[in-house]
Amino acid sequence: MLNEKVSTLLNEQINHELYSAYLYLDISNYYKDNGLDGFANWYKIQAQEERDHAMLFMEYLQNNGYRVTLDAIAKPDKEFEGFKMPLEAGLEHEIIVTNLINAIYSQAAEVKDYRTIQFLDWFVKEQGEEEANAEALIRKMELFGADPRGLYLLDTELGARIYAPPSLVL
């Protein structure tokens, strides 16, 4: 049986991951509305990944005898101006998610819940990748975004991304 505080935090993380998916769909829509289909594709795939993360948390809780409670998902409230601002919002959000994962990890460590720690190890690594990807997108936008040809090439690069489901085994 999972520790009550750890299981509550894991359950809350489901909602955070689903909010992440909503935020990334909102960013995808912003780019789509502005004719950057590659950026829209990249964030649509990000949304799929976040939804899958929520499902992994849900499955982990269920596999450990915990009844999952789903909460309402807040509407993203960001208003974007320019093409760099959504990228910065994405990085800012990933840092928040990293802190949430770290808080669960700390609580699991405090109560010596090694099974949950092992489960969270994948997410800790994933968050490092998510932050690095977000930072790289910002750098590329800063380097190439002001030049229409550079922006076109960056958009084309992001349009080539395909979805790959997570390979975490519970």
Model pLDDT for residues 18-32, shown as the tens digit of each residue: 999 999 999 999 999
- Domains plus CATH for the chain? 4-159 (1.20.1260.10)
- Res 71 pLDDT > 70: yes
Reduced to 3 states (helix: H, G, I; strand: E, B; else coil), residue 73 is coil
What are the tens digits of pLDDT across the range 14-68? 999 999 999 999 999 999 999 999 999 999 999 999 999 999 999 999 999 999 9
pLDDT at 166: 80
CB 74 within 8 A of CB 11: no
Q: How far apart are CA 117 and CA 86, in angstroms?
A: 32
